[in-house]
Amino acid sequence: MGFSTDAIHAGQSPDPTTGAVMVPIYQTSTYVQEGLGKNKGYEYARTQNPTREALERNVAVLEKGKHGICFSSGLGAIHTLLLCLREGDHVLLGDNLYGGTYRMLDKVMRPLGMQFDVVSTKDVAQVDKAIRPNTRLFILETPTNPVMMIADLEATGRVCRAKDVILAVDNTFMTPYFQNPLELGARVVIHSTTKYLNGHSDMVGGVVVTSDADLAARLRFLQNAVGAVPGPMDCWLALRGIKTLALRMRQHDANAHAVAHFLEEQGRKVIYPGLASHPQHELARRQMRGMGGMVSVDLGSIEEAKRVLPRFRIFSLAESLGGVESLVSHPATMTHASVPLEERRRVGLTDGLIRFSVGCEDPEDLIEDIRQALA
């Protein structure tokens, strides 16, 4: 099936009781049992919920994986993945990762005995060198947030497979509409469904997708044993959002291209993988089917960022991304404040950098808003 057909139908069938076309919100904590050990496959809602299962099947299909396991947030998904490892195991993190992922390793997992290093995702030889005998997992994002570095997923996947390291790609920025990491060499895909998959900024959730049966079984066990499960209403919202994922992503991509070209014409320092001026533009074109809706621009100083940010009328100053409405943020003080200054400097996350999550409004209005804010 094509992407849009799968997005609308995969994993969902009319409700067996009533024929309801939409998967119902099974808002229940428990299920009646006919007798001891006799039930319909549902016992308690932390363990099983039909609305959640529909979302898990749907995202697994879109990401070309066999198993989807949903969580209460993107970080809940990443935490549960880390719990598949043990004390003393070593994790590699891509540089310029989502601040919360870095914070989890630094402030939560390291005190529990997990080791980690940060490595540049631009250079596969460096990744190879950074892998230790006890390295079990490499978590990366591509493009990264907010400096839009691209990792060569095929080359990185080869290096990780050769050394039996699980490559986990956080695909929140691209979504399966533009990039399928499992087909390029990753063993695991992670999403914050909070962002583009849901797309309407009205829930928080996460998902892990893999075709590795052993890993999926462990994650399924931990989903229940640790309990960071999403509620049925949030799963239903994500399911509904995904039905229009293809339409939305096409508009995000077109609008982001328009915004990026406008900023470049104004002589601004723009970072967008869709621009020929992006140092990894060719790699981006090779492994992505589109460039997404995130655009960063370096205004030169924190003073200029402070002057410009309150002036927007359509772009709202807010954390998060991926909704139909346009947002603007200041990564150094907002999403990436927990990343140490030296680390931010090293990847080019300057204090003057602002990041647009370009929404689905009319592109002329977005460009006019940026023009008047920068004036």
Ligand X SMILES: *Cc1c(COP(=O)(O)O)cnc(C)c1O
Query: Is residue 192 near ligand X by the rule CB under 6 A?
Result: yes
- Out of 170, 234, 298, 351, which one is annotated catalytic? 170
Comparing CB distances to ligand X, the nearer of 232 and 373 is 232
Note whether 145 binds ligand X by CB under 6 A. Answer: yes
Query: Does residue 73 touch ligand X according to CB under 6 A?
Result: yes
Of the pair 141, 369, the CB lying nearest ligand X is at 141
Whether 195 is a known active-site residue: answer: yes
Q: Which of 52, 122, 136, 195 is catalytic?
A: 195
Measured between its terminal Cα atoms, the distance across the chain in Å is: 48
How far, in Å, are 81, 331, 335, 342 from residue 145 at the CA level?
21, 9, 9, 17
Binder of ligand X out of 156, 172, 180, 296 (CB under 6 A)? 172
Q: For residue 205, what are the contacts with CB-CB under 8 A and spacing of at least 6?
A: 70, 71, 72, 73, 74, 192, 193, 194, 198, 230, 234, 235, 238
Write 247-252 long-range contacts (CB < 8 A, 24+).
247/4, 248/196, 248/199, 248/324, 248/360, 249/175, 249/177, 249/178, 249/196, 249/290, 249/292, 249/293, 250/290, 251/360, 252/196, 252/292, 252/293, 252/358, 252/359, 252/360
206 binds ligand X (CB under 6 A): yes
Please give the Cα distance from 157 to 287 (Å, whole number).
Answer: 13
Q: Which is nearer to ligand X, 321 or 366 (CB)?
A: 321
Smallest distance from the beta carbon of 36 to ligand X, in angstroms? 39
At residue 31, the 3 state secondary structure works out as: coil
When asked if residue 150 is in the footprint of ligand X (CB under 6 A), the reply is no
| H or E element at residue 297 | strand 294-298
Sign of the torsion angle spanned by Cα atoms 338, 109, 321, 186:
positive
Does residue 100 touch ligand X according to CB under 6 A? yes
For the question of residue 102 being annotated catalytic, the response is: no
Tell me whether residue 142 or residue 262 sits nearer to ligand X (CB atom). Answer: 142
Among 6, 53, 170, 253, binds ligand X (CB under 6 A): 170
**Would you count residue 278 as binding ligand X (CB under 6 A)?**
no
- How many Å apart are CA 328 and CA 226, to the nearest integer? 35
Shortest spacing between CB 144 and ligand X, in angstroms: 9
Question: Is 75 a binder of ligand X (CB under 6 A)?
Answer: yes
Part in contact with ligand X (CB under 6 A); list of ranges 107-115, 191-199, 210-218, 258-266: 191-199
Contact flag: residue 138 with ligand X (CB under 6 A) = no
Applying CB under 6 A, which residues contact ligand X? Answer: 73-75, 98, 100-101, 141, 145, 170, 172, 192, 194-195, 204, 206
Active site residues: 46, 98, 170, 195
